[in-house]
């Protein structure tokens, strides 16, 4: 019985090319109380592997978070299988705005302590006691209300390339890092402001909405289905699109264009650009924004040092990496000191503080 992926990304890519099938990229999540996450994990792997599903899925006692792709002609069978699982029946599936057959190249289903790491150890916090979900039309109305505080629940490198107009974009590296900051800076408005949140697909702001209700906020809202669903509804219902730029996604596409606005800059030259890349030096692998001109000049690298490294023979590069572990820059997501045009987003909540 095969319970784990056995093919490399390269081998899988070749199979996808040979199959010549159109694949569908989608995501979904559900907070629920799962008694035996490992049992569910194994059941999902056996079933989804047979349907050629690829992706990154986390299962925990608090629910499931799935980002995946599958052959389009298997979609109905996949949906039918979800409907056999009680807490996933009729679940909303967020279909990607921009499709790419190579968005995922492995099937990874992992059991985690939580489907969204939050650093919380409060046993009285009920993640299912969530805020009010609003669709794109209601969201557009809410964020124009002067009594609304709109907060982006994503990380700095996500909001840098795209966010809703007038949104507060916390300068954080992780979701857990944003919770205390937001609560502290908005504590004076727990009763007089409408707290409206959004994220990529809804999973982070759903947990956040429950958390802020737990902390005493009276009027808590979240964008149903996140930016992905918002973009679909705006197009379908011909609504005004209030999102500026791209939506960062956690697969090989890296982003989906939601509007034509380019609100970010190349981290190396400062010219308008919103394309995330990873440094070509495997010992660095830093995620940063790089324009085509700098990509050509720097050989896909983030620094001259990395550019020098990738010119060395492969075996020599391996020797240099021995015993070094990952560079800390991998986790900085564009914060490295040698990137002169990284946008500094430290001035969060300044408008509210002046009130």
Q: How many other C-beta atoms can be found within 10 angstroms of the C-beta atom of residue 299?
A: 14
Task: Give which of 95, 233, 258, 239 is closest to 161, Cα–Cα.
Answer: 258
Q: What are phi and psi of 146, to 5 degrees?
A: -65, -15
CB 45, CB 79: distance < 8 Å: no
The CATH number fitting domain 9-111, selected from 3.30.2130.10, 3.30.465.10, 3.40.50.10320, 3.30.70.100: 3.30.70.100
Domain boundaries, the chain: 9-111
Q: How many CA atoms are closer than 13 Å to the CA of 91, on its beta-carbon side?
A: 27
Its sign, for the CA torsion 331, 337, 342, 347, is positive
Q: Are strands 194-198 and 220-223 parallel, antiparallel or unpaired?
A: parallel
Catalytic residues, by residue number, are 199
Question: Could you read off the pLDDT of 147-183 as tens digits, one per residue?
Answer: 999 999 999 999 999 999 989 998 888 888 889 889 9
Predicted TM-score of the model (pTM) = 0.83
Q: Which two tokens stand for residue 16?
A: 């996808």
Distance in angstroms (rounded) separating the CA atoms of residues 285 and 330: 6
Q: Which residues contact 99 (CB under 8 A, 6 or more apart)?
A: 22, 23, 24, 25
Task: Give which of 336, 331, 320, 337 is closest to 281, Cα–Cα.
Answer: 320
Q: Digits of tens for pLDDT over the chain (355 positions)?
A: 778 888 899 999 999 999 999 999 999 999 999 999 999 999 999 999 999 999 999 999 999 999 999 999 999 999 999 999 999 999 999 999 889 999 999 999 999 999 988 888 777 888 888 999 999 999 999 999 999 999 999 999 999 999 999 899 988 888 888 898 899 889 899 999 999 999 999 999 999 999 999 999 999 999 999 999 999 999 999 999 999 999 999 888 899 999 999 999 999 999 999 999 999 998 888 999 999 999 999 999 999 999 999 999 988 888 887 766 555 455 556 677 888 887 654 444 454 444 4
Question: Could you read off the pLDDT of 56-78 as tens digits, one per residue?
Answer: 999 999 999 999 999 999 999 99
């Amino acid at each position: 019985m095969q319970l784990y992926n056995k093919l490399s990304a390269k081998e899988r890519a070749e199979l996808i090319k040979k199959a010549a099938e159109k694949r569908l990229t989608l995501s979904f999540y559900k907070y629920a109380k799962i008694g035996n996450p490992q049992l569910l994990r194994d059941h999902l792997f056996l079933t989804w592997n047979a349907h050629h599903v690829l992706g990154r899925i986390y299962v925990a006692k608090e629910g499931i978070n799935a980002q995946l792709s599958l052959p389009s002609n298997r979609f109905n069978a996949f949906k039918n299988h979800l409907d056999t699982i009680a807490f996933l029946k009729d679940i909303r599936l967020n279909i990607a705005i921009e499709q790419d057959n190579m968005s995922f190249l492995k099937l990874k289903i992992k059991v985690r302590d939580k489907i969204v790491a939050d650093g919380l150890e409060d046993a009285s916090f009920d993640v299912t006691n969530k805020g009010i979900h609003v669709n794109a039309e209601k969201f557009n109305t809410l964020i124009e209300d002067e009594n609304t505080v709109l907060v982006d629940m994503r990380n700095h490198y996500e909001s840098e390339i795209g966010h809703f107009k007038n949104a507060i974009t916390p300068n954080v590296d992780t979701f857990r890092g944003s919770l205390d900051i937001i609560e502290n800076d908005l504590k004076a408005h727990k009763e007089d402001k409408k707290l409206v949140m959004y994220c990529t697909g809804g999973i982070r702001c759903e947990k956040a909405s429950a958390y802020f209700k737990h902390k005493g906020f009276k009027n808590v809202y979240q964008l149903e289905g996140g930016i992905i669903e918002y973009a679909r509804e705006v197009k379908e219902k011909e609504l005004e699109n209030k999102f500026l730029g791209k939506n960062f996604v956690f697969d090989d596409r890296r982003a989906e264009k939601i509007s034509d606005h380019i609100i970010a800059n190349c981290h190396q030259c400062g010219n308008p650009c919103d394309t995330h890349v990873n440094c070509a030096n495997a010992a660095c692998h830093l995620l940063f924004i790089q324009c085509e001109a700098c990509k050509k000049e720097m050989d896909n690298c983030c620094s001259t040092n990395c550019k020098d490294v990738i010119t060395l023979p492969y075996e020599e590069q391996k020797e240099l990496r021995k015993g070094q572990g990952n560079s800390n820059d991998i986790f900085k997501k564009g914060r490295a000191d040698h990137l002169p045009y990284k946008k500094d987003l430290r001035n969060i909540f300044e408008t509210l503080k002046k009130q």
